[in-house]
Structure 1
Amino acid sequence: MQIRIYFILLLGFAILSCDEDSKVEKEIAKVDVDFTIERFDKAFYEATLKDLPNLKSAYPFFFSKHEPDSIVIHRMNDSLQHEILQEVDAAFKDFDNTREDLVSMFQHLKYYDKVFSTPRIITLTNNVQYRDKVIITDSIVLVALDNYLGEDHRFYVDGNIPAYLAKNFKKEQIVVDLADGYAKKYAFQSTRKALLEEMIYFGKLLYFKDVMIPFKTDAEKIGYTENQIQWAEANESQIWSYFIEKELLYSTDPKLPNRFIADAPFTKFYLELDNESPGRLGQYIGWQIVKAYAENSGDGIMKIMQTEPEEIFRKSKFKPKK
């Protein structure tokens, strides 16, 4: 009888929690955001010499004052640039779905940060410099569309970009990358030397996505396939046991971030299961710790982003899924 009452109470709390979440999301949906997506890539692709003064006036940050017009004209006529711009133009005929994602993300940002101001959104190309897919400032967001043409695009295959990176080079990940960029602007920690501190830092970034882009799946938020997120969930207890048994949490060994945090095709436990695992499992576990802290503390997202990792870990009372 007691067990039955316990499960009934748990179910009741879950229903109440869902109702509260639903109320918040309804309030967020009322938040007004206004922006246009400015296609600099398209404007540059279609521009002629006589359009150059207008382009410089509208987008002065893309043109150096010390660069002669002859260099810009050469770039406008460059065959490689035309090829990149043609591929982008073909892939991004419209921005309807991406715009819907951006509207929702900005609504969430404005709801949780009352002083947030919606920026200009400008698209461009950057010769597939995938480390700089998005750039975020207080007033401008830049999105390099040639990094979102689909994982099998010849630019990535011929460019020998690793498959574990290219799998996230798709338009559905634009809002995920932007949310990650904003998360980094809000996140603070006084130190990131120990592995646990790194884990919780990236856990904060992922939890920020939980709050700001709840319409994305967990797999999309962390950049895993569905099989990879399922593997991480199924092996959560084993991963945690490994960290504890090897006494890695408070280690400042500089090799550990490369093994457990950095982008990689798999996580380096140096065990037989390595090839089965996705990379960045340290980030995944940090995410679960921050989630547990949020549930136990009741703190809002902005406070969580500023909370020190030791406090998050201690108050999270984290226990991995069995």
Structure 2
Amino acid sequence: MKKIGSLFILLVVFLSCNKENRLEQNIDKINTDITVERFDRLFANVEIEALSKLKQDYPFMFAKKYSDSFWIAQKKDSLQRELFLEVEKAFPDFEDVELEIESLFNHLKYYFPEFKLPRVITTTSMVDYRNKVILTDTIVLLSIDTYLGSQHKFYAGIQKYIASNLRKEQIVVDLSGAYAEKYIYQSPRKTLLDEMIYYGKVLYFNDLMIPFKSESERIGYTDEELQWAQTNEGYIWRYFVERELLYSTDSKLPNRFINPAPFTKFYLEEIDSESPGRLGQYMGWQIVRAYMENNDVTLKELLVNSSEAIFNNSKFKPRK
């Protein structure tokens, strides 16, 4: 009987992998083709007499309230010049990132046939890590000076838990997350559960749009942080339930469990320092995964369903 059970499990896994492989093959056939426009390089190297032509080609990159003399001074500024040099060192070409973006766009086109390819443009932002990706219907702006590597000297004054994701591997993850926010509809978030499910939707969106990235990369954890979350899933869930936090509207809860932080604030000395931040997001991710596994629901339906409907129908059980 044990052998039969094992063979059945292997067959299910095989069929599941086969189905996923066929899906990915179909998505690859969409074959979106983009060319990332290196505005950062164009601006760094433009001759003064050619500046007006660059402004014509990229009018949205030049605020009208500033004269040409302002942009020329910017270009010659020593700090700006150093920034350009460091970006050029980190990104002598953009081919590997471009391929990841194309794969993301293939997946977006598959799940959202109405999706139209935008222009993808790289720029610098004086390390404005709060606005790494700017998205409109027609343009994607990537501030690539915020992806120079977590140990880069420019990030010396930035908290480690933020700097850890200022690296090239996270560009497509941040871009996928920006599209998730564009496609998700959810009523104003009032409870901790609302916040958890919202970010669970974002992370499940990443599961489908960037399956070529690891789970830890999709949530912005190290492998060790993800392992900690998985190992302690049962404890985290018990903590939320026993303290009746899920439906609480306490405004302090997002800072404790949802927002970026060096660790999650359980207010328990023996566990806080070991935990990664954003464990509320992680738990929301697992709830949404359970909901999609146990219900015949499309991605588009998921993205507009209420947090309560998702939770109540998820049949979620934490790892033990």
The TM tier, using the shorter chain, reads over 0.9
Give ranges in structure 1 of 5+ residues lacking alignment: none
Please report the TM-score for the alignment, with normalisation by the length of structure 2: 0.97
**Contact residue 41 and residue 85 of structure 1 kept, 8 A:** yes
**Contact residue 37 and residue 121 of structure 2 kept, 8 A:** yes
- Give 1:76 shift: 1.4
Distance 1:211 1:185 in 2: 15
**Is residue 26 of structure 1 aligned with residue 13 of structure 2?**
no
Distance 2:162 2:173 in 1: 14
**Is residue 124 of structure 1 aligned with residue 123 of structure 2?**
yes
Label 1:164 to 1:304 Cα distance change in 2 as closer, same or farther (>3 A): same
Distance 1:211 1:49 in 2: 45
Letter in 1 for 2:284: G
* CA deviation vs aligned residue, 1:123-168 (integer Å, no higher than 9, x gap): 00000010000101111000001100011111001xx100111011
Partner residue of 1:224? 221
Match of 2:169 among 147, 168, 172: 172
* CA deviation vs aligned residue, 1:63-102 (integer Å, no higher than 9, x gap): 1222211111111111111111111011100112111111
Partner residue of 1:70? 69
Partner residue of 2:57? 58
Aligned CA-pair RMSD: 1.2
Distance 1:100 1:81 in 2: 28
Moved more, 131-140 or 66-75: 66-75
**Contact residue 211 and residue 301 of structure 1 kept, 8 A:** no
Partner residue of 1:278? 276
**Contact residue 219 and residue 225 of structure 1 kept, 8 A:** yes
Partner residue of 2:188? 191
Distance 2:58 2:136 in 1: 15
Distance 1:189 1:65 in 2: 36
Identity over aligned residues, as a percent? 54
Partner residue of 1:201? 198
- Give 1:34 shift: 2.0
Match of 2:255 among 229, 254, 258: 258
Match of 1:244 among 241, 246, 250: 241
Please report the TM-score for the alignment, with normalisation by the length of structure 1: 0.97
- Give 1:8 shift: 4.3
**Contact residue 197 and residue 309 of structure 1 kept, 8 A:** yes
Aligned residues: 319
Moved more, 192-201 or 61-70: 61-70
Match of 2:207 among 210, 231, 235: 210
Please give the residue correspondences for 1:28-177 in structure 2 after superposition, counting only pairs within 5 Å: 28-157=27-156, 160-177=157-174
**Contact residue 34 and residue 98 of structure 2 kept, 8 A:** no
Give ranges in structure 2 of 5+ residues lacking alignment: none
